[in-house]
């Protein structure tokens, strides 16, 4: 079933969940520094989500199959970790590290899902370019969203921009419908052909979350059954927003204060 909002009450609750998720990423930035463990970042986010926002951290104890449930409240993916990195007291941030923090909160039964890249100290020139281009990929995907567009238009726009900059697009993981369910239809691929796939309709809600690699696109899952890394151990970056399809474009429900959208 495709995630779709059907009335103003549902739209308002999704807007609120998205804004709250964005506020977590705005809050945590000052805590991303040399010597901090990813588990400490998880603790700070968990307290903020539960105590300050009165929300539920959706990743905590989330299960997507027969494997182990996700044990933390956020995902922290450092350097060559593509996605689903598990916060750990053994992973201490070093100068030059690049980190994706992925946050999903549940408020009044609706989900807000978003992620952002952070840098510790001064990143390499390659890392800076990868992070910038990946964010541009997200924005180019958002630009083509409107009622009447096709789902493949999103993946095409992202793939074209990534490959034009000599980066590769991860294909095993994608965006997804979201609303009352954490992961719903449609699957939003970050590669593909324009003018293919389902037609977007007003009220649809989904994420766009391109994972772009500095090296080849191939990935593997570690024995913890969650952490996804690049096979060649080269850098990966990801940005994510939750969107509402409108007649004329996309409303970015997880927009942060530093961002502006036409």
What pLDDT is stored for residue 91 in this prediction?
A: 94
* pLDDT, tens digit (0-9, with 9 covering 90-100), for 36-74: 999 999 999 999 999 999 999 999 999 988 889 999 999
* pLDDT, tens digit (0-9, with 9 covering 90-100), for 79-126: 999 999 999 999 999 999 999 999 999 999 999 999 999 999 999 999
Read off φ and ψ for residue 45, nearest 5 degrees: -65, -45
The count of other CB atoms within 10 Å of the CB of residue 32 is: 19
User: For the chain, what is the mean pLDDT?
Assistant: 97
Residues 81 and 147: their CA atoms lie apart, in Å, by 34
Q: Is the pLDDT of residue 19 over 80?
A: yes
| pTM of the predicted structure, to 2 decimals | 0.97
Read off φ and ψ for residue 202, nearest 5 degrees: -55, 140
* pLDDT, tens digit (0-9, with 9 covering 90-100), for 217-243: 999 999 999 999 999 999 999 999 999
Domains, the chain, ranges and CATH? 8-252 (3.90.230.10)
Mean pLDDT confidence for 122-147: 97
Residues 175 and 115: their CA atoms lie apart, in Å, by 12
């Amino acid at each position: 079933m495709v995630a779709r909002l059907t009335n103003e009450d549902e739209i308002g609750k999704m807007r609120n969940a998205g804004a709250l998720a964005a506020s977590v990423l705005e809050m945590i930035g000052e805590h991303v520094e040399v010597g901090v463990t990813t588990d400490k970042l998880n603790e700070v986010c968990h307290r903020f989500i539960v105590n300050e926002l009165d929300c539920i951290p959706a990743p905590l104890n989330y299960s997507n199959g027969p494997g182990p449930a996700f044990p933390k409240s956020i995902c922290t993916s450092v350097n060559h970790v593509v996605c689903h990195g598990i916060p750990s007291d053994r992973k201490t941030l070093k100068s030059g590290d690049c980190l994706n923090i992925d946050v999903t909160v549940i408020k009044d039964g609706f989900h807000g899902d978003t992620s952002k890249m952070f840098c510790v100290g001064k990143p390499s020139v390659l890392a800076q370019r990868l992070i910038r281009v990946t964010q541009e990929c997200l924005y180019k995907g958002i630009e083509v969203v409107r009622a009447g567009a096709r789902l493949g238009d999103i993946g095409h726009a992202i793939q074209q921009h990534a490959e034009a900059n000599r980066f590769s697009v991860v294909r095993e993981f994608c965006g997804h419908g979201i609303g009352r369910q954490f992961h719903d239809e449609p699957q939003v691929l970050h590669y593909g052909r324009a003018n293919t796939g389902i037609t977007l309709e007003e009220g649809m809600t989904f994420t766009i979350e391109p994972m772009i690699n500095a090296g080849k696109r191939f990935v593997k899952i570690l024995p913890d059954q969650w952490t996804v890394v690049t096979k060649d151990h080269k850098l990966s970056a990801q940005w994510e927003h939750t969107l509402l399809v409108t007649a004329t474009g996309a409303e970015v429900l997880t927009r942060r204060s530093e961002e502006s959208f036409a």
